[in-house]
Structure 1
Amino acid sequence: MSGDRDDRQRHLPAGRKAQLAAYVSDAGQVTVGELAERFGVSIDTVRRDLDQLSAEGILVRTYGGAVSLSTISRTDRAVDQRLNEQEKEKEKIAALAAALVQDGSTIMINGGTTTLAFARSLRQHRDLTVATNNLLVPGALPPTAIRDIYIFGGAVRSLTLATIGPVSFRANTGTELDVSCDLALIGVGAISADAGYTTSNLAEAAMMQEMLSRAARVAILADSSKFGRRLFAQVSELGAADYLITDTMPPPDLRDALAASEVELITPAAPPRPREARS
């Protein structure tokens, strides 16, 4: 009887909205199409429900869907709160990422605590040029490993202690200098088979996209807690990266999607193998 009551309630606005809110809370992030299919109503109806729930402060409305308040609080926390999370996993990822770096190369590193762990792992390297928007990275880099360090300018996002702005530098004459790197190491907030690599902030996503476009090779760094999730802003589709470096094997759907996109999966059980840069 309770199952029948639940089915009937889905088609009543109040009952549907309550179940919709509960579903978004459990899922973390959903699309309008997913909700319309699940609850058997039109996309316009779902959009109206989401708009009302957003106005009531129950969830956060996004382009094409919604995000739960708990997901926002989990993903958009201050960097000092995230430093002690998944520490062992980040150290494993950092060591694997360091194995991709060649002495004398130029690398770009974005904001985040996983990339910060990577910066600390470069003790055995030499003569590196590093460009980053992560304000914590210069102090974490071993001095013996570095030839030059550059910080991308722009506004500072205090929550993540990273700059948000163009991936470029200007000469004394004001002319913008073209920059590129051998390897970009990008930490992301979530990875899914359909949405690719995503993060919670639009400006950070735009900066990460530009770093990817300026790199001969791209390595995405993410621990297994990021699997199967989708955040507000897409950084890129899966195939934009050469490598995904993580602490354990992803679930089958994501693993298959990575293979189809020709992304090399690097884990402690499957360390990196030699690979030529993309042409």
Structure 2
Amino acid sequence: MLAAERQGHILDEVRRRGAVRVAELAAQFGVSDMTIRRDLDALVARGALDKVHGGATSKRTPSTEEPGFEVKWLRQQDEKDAIARAAADQVTPGSAVGVSAGTTTWTLAQHLRNIPGLTVVTNSMRVADVLRADDDSDLNVVLTGGVRTPSDALVGPIAVSSLRQLHLDVVFLGVHGIDPSAGFTTPNLLEADTDRALVAAGKRLVVLADHTKWDTIGISTIAALDEADVVISDEGLPPEAHDVLNEHVGKLVIAPSEPTTTTGTADTPS
């Protein structure tokens, strides 16, 4: 195998798993540890990954970087739909539900349309648009006011004030990152304040996060790991994440992936 081809496979492994070890790669490709280290050095020089002791990790993004909605929606679509389907199973008809902004929670909103008698409180314009699209639905949608962010969240003192007056049965929270020490985080300070108010309004907290959110840290913490009653992720979540989350959260749910093209639920955002 040529070095360039091997490096391409290594990069795929890092993107899939989040981290790799030199010894594992050497055994996988039948080459020496030194060859793998040279491959990692080449990938680091290209800015494709971060080298750590004994291996490499996916490239870390700045803690304040916040991609727009469309950019995030294009990532891990199958995983997000699987997570959304599993999250919808957590909802009881007739309950009061809080839904934060984000592409995974936006996908969840499409499944909530099929559950009768819900009142959904959200600070996401995108989520509200999905839920209000069906005129025949008995859904009640409450949209907080506030200042719009790049992820189409409504944040700030108006949003926080409205959420502090509410009592919700369950809150579904989308996050930018999960870290053992930092907890569940976001790159937007104002969104963190609003999300904390949303979390405080709920009896139960369900965090929706695909595997790429593991070992990622935004600038501000929304909640500690042990504040989550349930975390729903996908089959790509690395083993070390399983260990940490099973220790700290109420329950870890791994949603099996199915192609979004077969579900008919993940509409293209507009």
TM, length-normalised to structure 2: 0.67
Rounded Cα–Cα distance in structure 2 between residues aligned with 1:177 and 1:71 = 32
Q: Distance in 2 between matches of 1:128 and 1:177?
A: 20
Picking from 67, 73, 92, the partner of 2:82 is 92
Does residue 97 of structure 2 align to residue 107 of structure 1? Answer: yes
User: Given that residues 110 and 186 in structure 1 are in contact (C-alpha distance below 8 angstroms), is that contact kept between their aligned partners in structure 2?
Assistant: yes
Aligned to 1:34: none
Give the drift of 1:257: 2.3
Structure 2 match to 1:250:
237
- Do residues 167 (structure 1) and 160 (structure 2) align? yes
Instruction: Please name the residue that 1:151 is paired with.
Output: 143
Map Cα deviations across residues 76-106 of structure 1 (whole Å, 9 max, x no partner).
1111222222111110010000000110000
Contact persistence 1:130–1:146 (CA under 8 A): no
Contact 1:249 1:267 in 2 (8 A): no
TM-score by length of 1: 0.65
Aligned pair in 2 of structure 1 residues 94, 146: CA closer, same or farther (>3 Å)? farther
Q: How does 1:59-208 map to 2 (within 5 A)?
A: 71-72=61-62, 75-141=65-131, 143=134, 144-157=136-149, 159-165=150-156, 166-169=159-162, 178-208=165-195
Whether contact under 8 Å (1:168, 1:179) holds in the other structure is no
Asked if structure 2 preserves the Cα contact closer than 8 Å seen for 1:122 and 1:145, the reply is: no
Identity of aligned residues (%): 30
3-state SS in 1 of match to 2:234: coil
Aligned residues: 204
Amino acid at match of 1:84: L
Give the RMSD, CA atoms, in angstroms.
3.0
Q: Look up the SS of the partner of 2:87 in the other structure.
A: helix
Aligned residue for 1:204, secondary structure, equals helix
Distance of 2:198 and 2:107 partners within structure 1: 19
Q: CA deviation at 1:259?
A: 2.2
Flag the structure with larger Rg: 1
Give the gaps of 5 or more residues in structure 1: 1-21, 29-37, 39-68, 170-175, 270-279
Match of 1:42 in 2: none
Whole-angstrom distance in 1 between the partners of 2:71 and 2:198: 26
Distance 1:25 1:202 in 2: 28
Which whole-Å CA distance do the structure 2 matches of 1:232 and 1:146 have between them? 38
Assess if the C-alpha contact under 8 Å between 2:93 and 2:115 holds in 1. yes
- Give per-residue Cα distances to partners, 1:157-210, cap 9 Å, x unaligned: 2x11111023343xxxxxx97211001000001112222111111111111111
Structure 2 counterpart of 1:163, one-letter code: L
Deviation at 1:114, TM superposition (A): 0.6
